Amino acid sequence: MDVRPFWLAGRPATGDAELTVTNSHDGRVVGVCSVPTPEQVEEAVAAADAVRKQAAALPLHVRAAALTHVVRRLTERAEEIARLIMEENGKPIFWARGEVGRAISTFQFAAEEARRLNGETVRLDTEAASAGRLAYVSRVPHGPVLAITPFNFPLNLVAHKVAPAIAVGAPIIVKPAPATPLSSLVLGEILAETDLPAGMFSVLPVPNDRASALVEDPRLPVVSFTGSGPVGYAIMDQVPRKHVTLELGGNAAAVVLADADLDWAASRTALFSNYQAGQSCISVQRVIVEERVSEAFLAKLIPAVEALVTGDPADEKTQVGPLVSVEAAERVESWVKEAVAAGARLLTGGTRDGATVAPTVLADVPRDTKLGCEEVFGPVMTVQTVSGVDEAFAAVNDSRYGLQAGVFTRNLDIAFRANRELEVGGVIIGDVPSYRADQMPYGGVKDSGVGREGVRSAMEDLTYEKVMVLTGL
C-alpha cells in the first residue's frame, strides 16, 4: 500500500515513521501515512511564522480564489473523498457524502466572507473632545493557528478551522486525529494546488505524545481545538496565555412537549441519536418527554429506532455503522450495563457486535451513573419523563455540558422561553439538538467549551480588532 505523504509548508514530505489506518467495521487496513520527525515539525512552525506577515497582507481576491479552488476540487473529488471518510472513520457512505457536501459549503461560505472583510469606520465626533476625529477599525489575525481536530468529522471539522484561517490571512498547521488523518491529507493535496504562499498550511499527523511541541510553541499563538474535554482543558492549562478555543463534548437533550408533532419528534430523535453511531458532539443523548404524551411518544420512538438499518458502512442503505474502534464500542456497552445494573430499564438494543453497538434506548437511568451524567458518544439514548415545561428545562440544565438543545414544540412563547432559560450555545426549536448549519455560530457553554466556530464566528475568533484614529478631519 502506498504511503501517503504529509504536508509540510505546502509541500509533500515523508518522515521517520508510519501511521496505519484501519476500518473499524472489518479491521481492514485502509491507508498508511507518513509521520513527521520533530525536525520537520519545527520546519513547519518556522515556515508558518516566516509567512505570517505575507499571509496577513494577502489580497482578498487571492484568499477567495484559493478557497474557491478548494470548493471546486472537493466537488470534483466528492465521491472519492466520501469513500475515504467512510473507510477511515467507519461512518456510513450516506453520512460520509453529507460530510463532504458540508465541507464544500464551509469553504464556499469562507470564500464569500473573505470578500466582505471591509472593516468599519466609527465617527468619534459624538463627543466635543473628539471633534474632527474618526476611527478606522480593522480585523488583524492573532497569528499562525494550530488546529487540533477529532476523528468524528475528519474533513468538515478540519474545514471549519482551515477555511476561516485562509479567509483572515492566518497560516495554519493541522494536527488531525491519529485514527482519521487521511481525509485531511487529501485536503492538504488540494490546498497545495492553490497559489497560497509556502508556509501558509501544513498537515502534520503527529502522535499525541509529540503534540506538546506544537501546543507550546510561542510562534503559534492560537490553538483551535475540537475534541474531548479532558484533552482540551489540559491544553488550556498547558498554555494559559495563548488564545485557545475549545469545541468540546456534551450530552445533548431533546425536549418533547405535549404539543409536538410526535411522529416527527420520534423519527428525528431516533435517527439523530444514532447517526455517526452517536459519535457527534450534538448527538441526541437525553430525550426529555412530557408525561401526558410519553406513552404515545415511546410507542412511535421504539419502532423508529428498531427500524434503523445497522451494518456495513459501505452499504448504501446503512444508517448506523460501527464506532471508531472495538474499544470504543466496549466502553459504550459497559456504560449501558452499568446503568442497567443500577436500575435503568433497557427498552431496546444494548447488544454489541465487534465495533457496532445496536441502537439502544433506556429509561429511568440513575443520574449518578456514567450514562446519566457523562457524554456516551455512542448510539444510546436515555428517556426521562417530566411533568411539564418547568421540569423539562430544569432537566436540560441539570448537566455540566451545554452545547445545543432541541425543543419539540409549536408554541412560540415556549420557544422564546427555551432560548432565555436553557444553558446552551444553541437552541433548536422543532428539531433535534444535532442540527448544525455551517454558517451559523456554533459552540458551547459550561464544560462544552469556549469560543465559537461557524465561518464568520471563527473568522472573528482568529482575529482581533485594531483601531486607527485619524485626527484633524
Which residues lie near ligand NAD (CB under 6 A)? 148-152, 157, 175, 177-178, 208, 211, 215, 226-228, 231, 235, 247-249, 281, 375, 377, 403, 449
Residue 263 is classified by DSSP as H
Q: Which residue's CB is nearer to ligand NAD, number 144 or number 249?
A: 249
Q: Which residue's CB is nearer to ligand NAD, number 153 or number 297?
A: 153
* Contact call for residues 222 and 145 (beta carbons, < 8 A): yes
The residue type at 157: L
Q: How many helices (H) and strands (E) does the chain have?
A: 16, 25
Find, among 158, 153, 171, the residue nearest to 222 by Cα: 171
Determine the residue with CB nearest ligand NAD. Answer: 227
Say how far apart CA 149 and CA 226 lie, in whole Å: 5
Smallest distance, ligand NAD to C-beta of residue 472, A: 48
Find, among 228, 234, 309, the residue nearest to 275 by Cα: 309
Say how far apart CA 330 and CA 91 lie, in whole Å: 18
Say how far apart CA 189 and CA 195 lie, in whole Å: 13
Say how far apart CA 379 and CA 361 lie, in whole Å: 9
Q: Which residue's CB is nearer to ligand NAD, number 312 or number 447?
A: 447
Find, among 178, 171, 164, the residue nearest to 211 by Cα: 178
Smallest distance, ligand NAD to C-beta of residue 269, A: 18
Handedness of CA 83, 84, 90, 91 (dihedral sign): negative
Smallest distance, ligand NAD to C-beta of residue 87, A: 17
Pairing mode, strands 17-22 and 404-408 = unpaired
**22 alpha carbon, distance to own chain's centre:** 22
**157 alpha carbon, distance to own chain's centre:** 5
Q: Which residue's CB is nearer to ligand NAD, number 213 or number 341?
A: 213
Q: Which residue's CB is nearer to ligand NAD, number 216 or number 391?
A: 216
Smallest distance, ligand NAD to C-beta of residue 177, A: 4
Smallest distance, ligand NAD to C-beta of residue 125, A: 43
Find, among 379, 381, 378, the residue nearest to 362 by Cα: 381
Matching residue, cell 485502509: 30
Active site residue ranges: 247, 281
Which neighbouring-strand residues pair with 11? Answer: 8
Backbone angles phi, psi at 333, to 5 degrees: -60, -40
Smallest distance, ligand NAD to C-beta of residue 231, A: 4
Smallest distance, ligand NAD to C-beta of residue 448, A: 6
